[in-house]
A and B are shown apart, each in its own frame.
Chain A
Amino acid sequence: MSPPVRIALLGCGAEYSGVMPEIYEAARQVEAEVFYPDVTLADVKAAGKSFGLDVHSADLKLMIARAEALVAGRTEADAVFIATCFRCAEAAIVRNELRRYIHEGSRLPVVSYSFTERTTSGTLLTRMEALVTIARRRALLARERQEGITLGLDSGSATTKAVIMKENEVIGTGWRPTTQVQQSADEVIALALEESGIRRSEIEATGVTGYGRFLLGNSIGADLIQEELTVNSKGAVYLADRQHGFATVIDIGGMDNKAITVQDGIPGVFTMGGICAGASGRFLEMTAKRLGIDITELGPLAMKGMGKNVPMNSYCIVFGTQSLVNALAAGNSPEDVAAAACHSVAEQVYEQQLQEVDIREPVIMVGGTSLISGLVHAMGELLQTEIVVPRYSQFIGAVGSALLASGYIRKE
């Protein structure tokens, strides 16, 4: 049995928010252990001056001292989890600066999170799992080419996707809205098999990701069950042919969003989540529904409109929908409203999540929402860069799973 992955916790307020048991539980579930890097009182006193950020809260000074111990190599760790209270400005500054400092000064994967007392281990699980994957499976993540015949399955919150790959080519795909997790998976596998002309028995290895990964991974006997942060990063740089050097992956999902800074195909810094569905694909689905069009028509419609003509703030999906209804009632064109909705979602992701990672070009957008051209355009405008949307971007998790699963093919 391999030793547990050691995750250094740099935290402020977690004990007093009552969420420490949740953090420990999330780590336990992925066979990791959370620990506090050892520092002395002298280190804490010196932390403000040496780091150059003279904060008032003693626990934040302690966080800085611990980060310095990690970067200097005085304490050994496999990964770093930075957690501070949601809505604390002082902590947010420290959290962001430490994340950048550790990323630049070490090879340790870092994830940061701002919690409330309602944070549960379930919320933290995927993030912890990603840290463990990066620490433990670097060799697997180094895979750049798919081999043999593999099946990749992505059981997402909104849709379920499957791909069949053969010798580095996608030869079959399947897509369905997620209803019953198992049933949706069976359907997309059947679709992908039919398109590829491959029999189920010919599949040499299977990889599963997404919310339903544990259920499906066990039921179909998957060789690889892995969270979507590392799988999607790998899939994105693979499909965009940017496997070397830096890249930023943005995946605006149906329920949550992911923003990942990738180096040589391995996530360095990542953030996952969203404050409200107003910053997710769900708001765009609602917009399409209110406009009486299919979601596939929203992007092209938005490209014809001017988002600036319509004030819209989808920070909250309820208020965002209210803006939508008001804008239409005021006589704004569907094109302008569609553009404003895309801009609003892109803006929320930009403001809430992209500030937590280092944006490195190329920026690759993946997931179903990457097919909404208006959203990609809006994000490109905000980031002042041309966004890369690779072929099969909507199947990103499935492609990443199929790619990584080929590492499990047993050679005769």
Chain B
Amino acid sequence: MAKVFIYPGTSLILSDLVARFGHRPLGAALAVREKVQTPGLDSPPLQITPEDPKKGLRYAAVEVPSGVRGRMALYGPQIEEADAGIIVRDADLAFGCMGCARTNELVRFLLHRREIPLLELTYPRSDEEGVRFVAAIKEFLAGLAGGETA
């Protein structure tokens, strides 16, 4: 089983595909759900504290906006931990999105710098492209160590 970083980090479809092929998806859901600091489990997602942007200094300098560093406190360790990654560019907002374009640039850069197996795809805009899109992801995941054929 490989740890696969997904981009956009909030994509449930990508997360589900990775899990179906026997790997562990690394993304927003995992990072956020491990931080429970709100009054109730169904409270709005305010789990980030002012300490997180400081942790993000490991990935971005102090002159980088706090919102970028706060996000990097979640995604940075996952990128370091990842064995592989899937990047979907120009994704529809409904597919999954990350709110900050500067964070997105940094996340993609750090993924490339890791020199791990990476699959980069453009979001499909037709049924035909959709079929090829899923097939490419399936082939990539099956090729990773410990992968399953669904």
> Which residues of A approach B to under 8 Å, CB–CB?
12-21, 41, 44-45, 55-59, 62, 84-88, 90-91, 115-118
A86 to B65: give the CA distance in the assembly, Å: 6
Chain A residue, CB-CB nearest to B45: A15
Interface flag for B27 (CB, 8 Å): no
Chain A: CB-nearest residue to B94: A41
Other-chain residue from A21, A55, A58, A117 in contact with B70 (beta carbon distance below 8 A): A117
B50 within 8 A of A: yes
With contact pairs A19-B50, A58-B93 given, residues A13 and B101 touching in the complex (Cβ less than 8 Å) = no
B65 touches A88 (CB 8 A): yes
In contact, A90 and B102 (Cβ under 8 angstroms): yes
Is B68 within 8 A of A58, CB to CB?
no
Tell whether, in the assembled complex, residue A86 and residue B66 are in contact, meaning their CB atoms are under 8 Å apart: yes
The 6 closest A-B pairs by CB, nearest first: A13-B67, A59-B99, A16-B70, A85-B65, A56-B101, A17-B66
Inter-chain CA distance A15–B52, complex, in Å, is: 11
| Interface status of B46 (Cβ within 8 A of chain A) | yes
A13-B66, A87-B65 given as contacts; is B102 within 8 A of A18 (CB)? Answer: no
Cβ of A56: which chain B residues have Cβ within 8 Å of it?
Answer: 101
Task: List 30 contacting pairs A-B, 8 Å CB cutoff, sorted by A.
Answer: A12-B100, A13-B68, A13-B70, A16-B48, A16-B67, A16-B68, A16-B99, A17-B48, A17-B50, A17-B65, A17-B66, A41-B93, A41-B94, A45-B93, A55-B101, A57-B101, A58-B97, A58-B98, A85-B65, A85-B67, A86-B66, A87-B63, A87-B65, A90-B101, A91-B65, A116-B53, A117-B50, A117-B52, A117-B53, A117-B69
> Taking A88-B65, A117-B70 as contacts, is the C-beta distance between A15 and B93 under 8 angstroms?
no
Within the complex, what minimum Cβ distance (angstroms) separates B21 from chain A? 27
Residue in B53, B63, B66, B102 whose beta carbon sits within 8 Å of that of A57 in the complex: B102
Contact A12 B67 (CB under 8 A): yes
Q: A86-B65, A87-B63, A117-B66 are in contact. Are A44 and B48 (CB under 8 A)?
A: no
CB-based contact A18/B70 at 8 Å = yes
Partner of B66 from A62, A90, A116 at Cβ < 8 Å: A116
Q: Is the CB of B93 within 8 A of A44?
A: yes
**Which residues of B come within 8 Å of A, CB atoms?**
44-46, 48-54, 63-71, 93-94, 97-102
What separation, in Å, do the CA atoms of A62 and B97 have in the docked complex? 12
Among B54, B63, B97, find the residue whose CB has the most chain A CB atoms closer than 10 A: B97
Q: A residues within 8 A CB of B100?
A: 12-13, 16, 57-59
Nearest CB of B to A160, in Å = 33
Contact check, B51 vs A16: say whether CB atoms are below 8 A apart.
no
| Residues of chain A lying within 8 A (CB to CB) of residue B69 | 117
How many angstroms between the C-alpha atoms of A14 and B46 in the bound complex?
A: 10
- Report the bound CA distance from A12 to B48 in whole Å: 14
- Tell me the bound Cα distance from A116 to B53 in angstroms: 9
Q: How many pairs, one residue from A and one from B, have CB atoms within 8 Å of each other in the complex?
A: 93
Q: Are B93 and A13 in contact, CB atoms less than 8 angstroms apart? A: no
Closest to B46 in A: A20
Q: A12-B99, A58-B97, A88-B102 known; A18 and B48 CB under 8 Å?
A: yes
Measured in the bound complex, the distance between the Cα atoms of B44 and A85 in whole Å is 20
Residues in A with CB closer than 8 Å to B93 are 41, 44-45, 58
Name the A residues within 8 Å of B64 (CB-CB).
87
Cross-chain contact A16 with B101 (CB below 8 angstroms): no
Kindly list chain A residues whose C-beta atoms are within 8 Å of the C-beta of B68. Answer: 13, 16, 85, 88
Q: In the assembly, what is the distance between CA of A56 and CA of B97, in Å? A: 11
Contacting pair A21 B46 (CB below 8 A):
yes
Instruction: Please report the C-alpha to C-alpha distance between residue A14 and residue B100 in the assembled complex, in whole angstroms.
Output: 11
Q: Which residue of A lies closest to B53 (CB)?
A: A117
Query: Smallest CB–CB gap between B10 and chain A, Å?
Result: 10
Q: Which A residue sits closest to B71, measured CB to CB?
A: A16
- A58 CA to B28 CA, complexed, in Å: 15
Contact A62 B99 (CB under 8 A): yes
Residues of A within 8 A of B71 (CB): 16
Closest CB in chain B relative to A10 CB, distance in Å: 13
Q: Which residues of B contact A57 (CB under 8 A)?
A: 99-102
Closest to A55 in B: B101
Q: Report if A16-B46 is in contact (Cβ < 8 Å); known contacts: A56-B101, A57-B99, A90-B102.
A: no
Complexed CA–CA distance, A44 and B93 (Å): 9
A21 to B93, CA, bound (A): 27
**Further pairs besides A17-B65, A57-B102: 7, Cβ < 8 Å:** A13-B68, A16-B48, A20-B44, A45-B93, A57-B100, A87-B65, A117-B50
User: What are the residues of chain A within 8 A of B49 when measuring CB–CB?
Assistant: 18
In Å, the complex CA distance between A90 and B102 comes to 9
CB distance from A119 to the nearest CB of B (A): 8
Q: How far is the CB of B100 from chain A (nearest CB, A)?
A: 5
Closest to A45 in B: B93
CB distance from A33 to the nearest CB of B (A): 13
Q: How far is the CB of A44 from chain B (nearest CB, A)?
A: 6
